[in-house]
A and B are shown apart, each in its own frame.
Chain A
């Protein structure tokens, strides 16, 4: 059971907009920033969004992040086949004194 809660799966057709939610608590998302990681099949995770809504250099602006209260969301607009991957949210947890991840959401592009 992961500390942060994500839906196990999401899907969309090319060109669509999809969102992935991440729910936490006051000891993590409620007081700390949220990061998102993308893991393409068979590869290591890659930083996608940091500090709630910042994109690293090279990440398309189709990807965006937001946070409200104890929840965060990742939005992907103009969905492309290469976006098919697992997506994980993460944040520091003050109660556990460590980093916590969501269980991951498998995105399928139909």
Chain B
């Protein structure tokens, strides 16, 4: 069974940092880009960023640019999201998803999500 499993969420104070992980199992995802998509409580989906299959390229939403950094370790089939300078409006469930294709592609596999709460 193909699975994406996020971990690393939790409660963090404003201005703090957190690192999320997204591990893939059941299939090698190394040739595929992966994205993070978040959903604030009771709100819609917001794309956060994407990293290419080899990790050489990254793309970020303006709302997180300069604060969040994506990386990947293909030997572990895992993608990371380093989140710094966290703000209250970063509170959300963070989903990891596989990108199938480029700009004409889509998110075909999703993880179950991990909750990040930014609060003092």
Contacts and interface: CB of A to CB of B under 8 A. Distances in A.
Interface of A: 2, 32-33, 35, 37, 39, 43-47, 50-51, 56, 88, 90, 92, 94, 96-104
Chain B interface mostly: strand
Contacts of A33: 104
Contacts of B106: 35, 47, 50-51, 90
Nearest to A50: B106
A98 B113 CA distance: 21
A101 B62 contact: no
B44 A46 contact: no
A104 B44 contact: yes
A30 B95 CA distance: 27
A50 B59 CA distance: 21
Interface in B43-67: 44-47, 49-50, 59-62
Contacts of B28: none
A92 B103 contact: yes
25 contacts: A35-B107, A37-B45, A37-B107, A43-B112, A45-B107, A46-B110, A47-B110, A50-B106, A56-B108, A88-B45, A90-B45, A90-B106, A92-B103, A96-B61, A97-B59, A98-B47, A98-B59, A99-B47, A100-B47, A101-B44, A101-B45, A101-B47, A102-B44, A103-B44, A104-B45
